[in-house]
Amino acid sequence: MEYKVTNLTNDTRKFRNSRLGKDILVEPKKTIITKRPPQESSVWKVESHVEKTEEKKLKKEVISKKNGKKK
């Protein structure tokens, strides 16, 4: 699962990605996508991220279910 992490402050912040072994820098008011997010706090806003391909699959499933019910 992927997460959208947004820096809520007015300065560049970083968090450590232990999986990659690197520091991730996030510019002010910018968003990045990562698999290992920091804890949500007054600095970070963390949301789950659904990829566009997954959204398309869900839309196709909904359409096919609606078409199946009409028949």
In this structure, the number of other CB atoms found within 10 A of the CB of residue 32 comes to 15
Q: Which residue has the higher pLDDT, 27 or 71?
A: 27
What is the per-residue pLDDT for 66?
73
Structure confidence by residue, pLDDT tens digits, 5-63: 999 999 999 999 878 889 999 999 999 999 889 999 999 999 998 776 666 677 777 77
What is the per-residue pLDDT for 71?
45
**CB within 8 Å of 34: residues ≥ 6 apart:** 2, 3, 5, 17, 24
Nearest to 19 by CA among 33, 6, 37, 3: 37
- Whether the per-residue pLDDT at 69 is higher than 70: the answer is no
Q: Which residue has the higher pLDDT, 4 or 1?
A: 4
Which amino acid is located at 46 in the chain?
V
